[in-house]
């Protein structure tokens, strides 16, 4: 009897349309029953959502999500548009070459439903996450390119003038007095860049006597024994340029906080194929450098930064990472969590590899760049930029 009653509710609007004349504007009984009809389906959907999904169901859902994300990202014929707006590590993900089971355990320890779903579902979760982000980024980059073209004259005419002082000191002098956090974005692996960054941090300290400074960095893992790590880094040539920064900070009693989650340090990054679904030989990038990987890392960093801010509410934060994490115009950059008027972003690089330079066609090859107008800084990605030889 109960099933018959449900069937009656479902079919009643159809019978109303068939048997009641509404051609003269009369409301008809079907309009009065419409809310009950909608409510029935809402309750039905709610009861379905209340059920606990099984791993196979989760895998099926994530397979569909990957398909939808791919359809969205390939909306205009493959990589023709993508190639002009995205870097290779931001291209759509196609498939993983490998996926260590232990990686899923570490990466999704706060998501038990995804742990239970298994490796294949976890891969699909990351692929769909990355490709949805890439689809959104395409629109943002297209708009950024238009805005840079529109403001090209202002960007060139309003560059702050240079003085005879060292570039690091000039950049430090441009930091507004109400700044609460300074983000330093670097191009990786260049000793001169690290030297310039250390000079900049020293200039910042000299200009803020008596104020506590806290240093947070991508280049140290979370919750690590810092003394032990420094004793190892001191012996490794490839890390020596970072060691000099950390050693100076430690001697100055400046707290050092690692941002990078342990799973980035523990696991050799899986290689993931990116590009066009129909390419015979797709590109390969590291998961940690992919758009989805950077997003997952940044989310972990933001939790550490928020916790540190509670511990040091009045300190001046210096956050040191790659400029792909710190630039104002980088995807889901960490500067977004701060008030713009309390944030200063410095970019230090050797090769002009930022999206700002890619869209500007080499117009800004200066040793020091900077803009007073925050709108221009947002377009350029930083308040100041130092280019080393």
pLDDT, average across residues 320-343: 93
Say whether pLDDT at 226 is over 50: yes
pLDDT at 199 over 90: yes
Of 103-117, 214-228, 231-245, the range with the lowest mean pLDDT is 231-245
Burial 62-79 (b: 16+ CB within 10 A, else e): beebbeebbeebbeeeeb
Inform me whether the pLDDT recorded for 42 exceeds 50. Answer: no
Instruction: Identify the residue with better confidence: 135 or 165.
Output: 165
**Around Cβ 276, how many Cβ atoms within 10 Å?**
18
Query: What's the predicted TM-score (pTM) here?
Result: 0.80
Give 271-317 pLDDT, tens digit per residue: 888 765 545 566 788 999 999 999 999 999 999 999 999 999 999 99
pLDDT at residue 74 greater than cutoff 90: no
**Structure confidence at residue 87 (pLDDT):** 85
Q: Which string of DSSP letters, residue by residue, matches 291-334? A: HHHHHHHHHHHHHHHHHHHHHSTTSEEEEEEEHHHHSTTSTT-G
Q: What percent of the chain has pLDDT over 90?
A: 43
Q: Residue 31: which pLDDT band, with cuts at 50, 70 and 90?
A: very low
Structure tokens that stand for 387 in this block: 């280019």
Q: How far apart (Å, rounded) are the C-alpha atoms in residues 364 and 184?
A: 19
Q: Which residues contact 322 (CB under 8 A, 6 or more apart)?
A: 185, 186, 187, 188, 218
Strongest mean pLDDT among 4-13, 35-44, 61-70, 325-334: 325-334
Mean pLDDT check: name the lowest of 69-73, 140-144, 237-241, 325-329: 69-73
| Strand segments (E) across the chain | 93-96, 181-186, 213-221, 256-260, 271-274, 283-286, 316-322, 343-349, 368-370, 384-387
Q: Calculate ∠ Cα 136-216-237, nearest 5°.
A: 100
Query: Where does the pLDDT of residue 267 fall: very low under 50, low under 70, confident under 90, or very high at 90 and above?
Result: confident
List, in order, residues 6 or more apart from 354 with CB less than 8 Å away: 323, 327, 347, 381
At 66, list the tokens.
């990957």
């Amino acid at each position: 009897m109960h099933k018959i009653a449900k069937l009656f509710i479902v079919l009643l609007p159809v019978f109303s349309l068939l048997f009641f004349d509404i051609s003269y504007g009369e409301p008809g009984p079907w309009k009065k029953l419409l809310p009950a009809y909608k409510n029935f389906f809402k309750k039905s959907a709610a009861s379905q959502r209340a059920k606990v999904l099984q791993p196979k169901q989760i895998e099926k859902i994530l397979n569909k999500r990957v398909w939808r994300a791919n359809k969205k990202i390939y909306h205009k014929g493959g990589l023709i548009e993508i190639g002009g707006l995205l870097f290779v590590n931001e291209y759509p993900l196609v498939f993983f070459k490998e996926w260590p089971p232990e990686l899923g355990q570490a990466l999704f320890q706060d998501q038990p439903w995804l742990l239970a779903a298994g490796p294949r579902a976890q891969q699909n979760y990351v692929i769909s996450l990355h490709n949805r982000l890439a689809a959104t980024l395409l629109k943002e980059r297209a708009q950024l390119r238009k805005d840079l073209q529109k403001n090209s004259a202002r960007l060139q005419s309003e560059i702050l003038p240079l003085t005879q002082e060292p570039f690091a000191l000039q950049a430090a002098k441009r930091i507004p007095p109400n700044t609460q956090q300074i983000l330093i974005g670097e191009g990786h692996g260049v000793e001169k860049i690290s030297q310039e960054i250390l000079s900049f941090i020293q200039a910042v300290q000299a200009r803020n006597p008596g104020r506590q400074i806290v240093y947070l960095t991508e280049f140290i893992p979370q919750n690590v024994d810092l003394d032990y790590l420094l004793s190892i880094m001191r012996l490794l040539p490839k890390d020596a340029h970072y060691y000099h920064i950390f050693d100076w900070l430690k001697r100055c009693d400046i707290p050092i906080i690692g941002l990078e989650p342990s799973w980035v340090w523990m696991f050799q990054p899986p290689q993931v194929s990116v590009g066009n679904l129909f390419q015979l030989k797709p590109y390969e990038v590291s998961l940690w450098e992919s758009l989805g990987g950077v997003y997952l890392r940044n989310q972990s960093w933001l939790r550490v930064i928020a916790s540190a801010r509670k511990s040091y509410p009045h300190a001046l934060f210096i956050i040191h990472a790659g400029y792909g994490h710190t630039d104002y115009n980088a995807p889901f950059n960490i500067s977004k969590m701060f008030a713009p008027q309390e944030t200063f972003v410095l970019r230090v690089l050797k090769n002009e590899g930022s999206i700002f330079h890619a869209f500007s066609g080499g117009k800004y090859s200066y040793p020091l760049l900077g803009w007073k107008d925050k709108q221009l800084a947002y377009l350029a990605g930083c308040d100041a930029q130092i280019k080393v030889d």
